[in-house]
């Protein structure tokens, strides 16, 4: 039985200074990089990361976003904002991350399980091929893409845990609602997430 760590969307546009910044994003990028450095190959047999990678996501981009289904332009393929945050990027380039899954080229695609690697393999199939049964989910943001990824992990048949201390949320109410969703779906929750202001 193998456990994988799924690192969700630790990208520049979702951190301070980006187009859709989440307070604490840069800090969590550093903490996740430390987690990966310490646990890759030990607690986690595999570490994967997801990336928003928008080309033409339609109504997901809006000049009048509702910040639920529509957002300002962000993580456009080829733009700097779509790159991994500099605090986390060395974990990827240094070989600590086994695969990267790109999502949302032509849709909103909040869940990492909607993404595929450069060879076109979807995340669930990649994990199953390596005998993974348990996944931990961390990243940005607890109440959006972390939530969607964790819920889809369970739907795909994996046992899932969200590590709140390695995730940041956008708002206190939606983060609390996401945690409720995790409990209802049978997703384990560990740590305490910083309360967004």
- Positions marked active-site: 9, 103, 145
Q: Per the structure block, which two tokens stand in for 97? A: 């991350």
Nearest to 53 by CA among 89, 105, 88: 105
Q: How far apart are CA 89 and CA 39, in angstroms?
A: 17
Cα-Cα-Cα-Cα dihedral of 48, 51, 56, 58, to 10°?
100
Q: Report how far residue 32's alpha carbon sits from residue 9's, in angstroms, rounded to the nearest whole number.
A: 11
Residue 160: name the closest of 129, 141, 140, 181 by CA: 181
Q: Cα–Cα distance between 157 and 155 in angstroms, integer?
A: 5
For residues 5 and 136, the answer to whether their CB atoms sit within 8 Å is yes
DSSP letters along 159-177, please?
Answer: EEEEEEEEEE-S-HHHHHH
Number of H-type helices and E-type strands within the chain: 5, 6
């Amino acid at each position: 039985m193998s456990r994988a760590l799924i690192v969700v969307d630790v990208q520049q546009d979702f951190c301070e200074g980006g187009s859709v910044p989440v307070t604490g994003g840069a800090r969590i990028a550093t903490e996740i990089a430390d987690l990966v450095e310490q646990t890759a190959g030990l607690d986690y047999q595999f570490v994967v990361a997801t990336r928003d990678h928008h080309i033409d996501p339609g109504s997901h981009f809006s000049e009048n976003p509702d910040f639920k289904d529509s957002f300002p332009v962000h993580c456009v393929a080829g733009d700097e904002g779509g790159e991994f945050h500099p605090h986390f990027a060395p974990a990827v380039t240094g070989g600590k991350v086994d695969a990267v899954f790109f999502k949302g080229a032509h849709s909103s695609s909040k869940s990492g399980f909607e993404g595929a690697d450069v060879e076109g393999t979807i995340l669930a199939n990649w994990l199953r091929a390596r005998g993974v049964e348990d996944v931990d989910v961390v990243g940005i943001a607890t109440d959006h893409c972390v939530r969607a990824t964790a819920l889809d992990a369970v739907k795909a048949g994996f046992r899932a845990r969200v590590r709140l201390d390695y995730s940041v949320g956008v708002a206190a109410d939606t983060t609390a609602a996401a945690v409720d969703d995790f409990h209802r779906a049978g997703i384990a929750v560990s740590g305490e997430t910083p309360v967004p202001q």
